[in-house]
């Protein structure tokens, strides 16, 4: 099985890329989805997060108050490292198990969407890395549409490896300042290209 890592800056189109890859017959795991599942009420990770950051990170219904947690961790590098130490090992364990399931089922192609792929040193686990990118202007517009303030946006950008570095370190770059048809066509061309080595890097 050929395994792609998919990364890119916040707001650049990774979720849409995942949907398009599924339409192209690729098995896809999205670590943002995994992360949300891991902090649902009753999950050990949520209990650990509350133990580290206090009950202020819980909403009145017992779910995680993501905006409050983000306010804490994106203004304090140490707090962000603490959160990552809780979530990242669990996230990797889940997607690695999914990949093993795909291999056992004989899937031809898989992709794992990891926003912090380079930051977590996951690149060697993949046959190739695809970076999803767009212009800074488009990125800013998309993030403002989420209701984020410019301060919140800048904090998140500061916490990630710069897009120019992700682009240069990736095997392929897909630009999303375009139509869905063009976005999908770029992904399809990548899927059709032969890779130099196959899945000896698999988890």
CATH of domain 2-38+94-192: 3.40.50.300
- pLDDT of 32-62, one tens digit each? 999 999 999 999 999 999 999 999 999 999 9
Q: Which of 148, 149, 176, 178 is nearest to 163 (CA)?
A: 176
Residue 157 CB contacts under 8 Å (≥ 6 apart), including other chains: 9, 10
pLDDT confidence of residue 131: 97
Q: State how far the Cα of 132 lies from the Cα of 141, in Å rounded to an integer.
A: 16
How far is 140 from 176, CA to CA, in rounded Å? 13
**CA 112 to CA 4: how far, in whole Å?**
6
CA angle at 200 for the pair 163 and 90, rounded to the nearest 5°: 60
For residue 160, what pLDDT is reported? 86
Q: Are 94 and 79 in contact (CB under 8 A)?
A: no
Helix (H) or strand (E) segment spanning residue 16: helix 14-23
Show the low-confidence residues of the chain (pLDDT under 70): 196-203
pLDDT of residue 200: 38
Report the pLDDT value the prediction gives residue 199, as an integer from 0 to 100.
39
Residue 161, SS3 per DSSP:
coil
Residue 132: which of 69, 72, 183 has the closest Cα? 183
Provide the token pair at 21.
């890859």
pTM for this predicted structure = 0.90
């Amino acid at each position: 099985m050929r395994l792609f890592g998919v990364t890119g800056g916040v707001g650049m189109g990774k979720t849409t890329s995942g949907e398009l890859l599924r339409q192209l017959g690729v098995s896809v795991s999205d670590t943002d989805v995994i992360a949300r599942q891991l902090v649902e009420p009753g999950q050990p990770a949520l209990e650990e997060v509350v133990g580290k950051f206090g009950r202020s990170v819980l909403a009145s219904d017992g779910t995680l108050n993501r905006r409050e947690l983000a306010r804490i961790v994106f203004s304090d590098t140490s707090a962000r490292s603490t959160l990552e130490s809780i979530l990242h090992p669990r996230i990797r364990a889940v997607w690695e198990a999914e990949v093993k399931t795909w291999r056992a089922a004989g899937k031809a192609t898989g992709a794992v969407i990891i926003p912090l792929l380079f930051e977590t040193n996951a690149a060697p686990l993949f046959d190739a890395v695809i970076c999803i990118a767009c212009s800074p202007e488009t990125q800013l517009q998309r993030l403002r549409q989420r209701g984020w303030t410019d301060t919140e946006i800048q904090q998140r950008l500061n916490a990630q490896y710069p897009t120019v570095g992700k682009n240069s370190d990736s095997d392929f770059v897909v630009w999303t300042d375009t139509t869905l048809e063009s976005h999908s066509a770029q992904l399809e061309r990548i899927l059709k290209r032969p890779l130099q080595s196959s899945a000896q890097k698999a988890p």
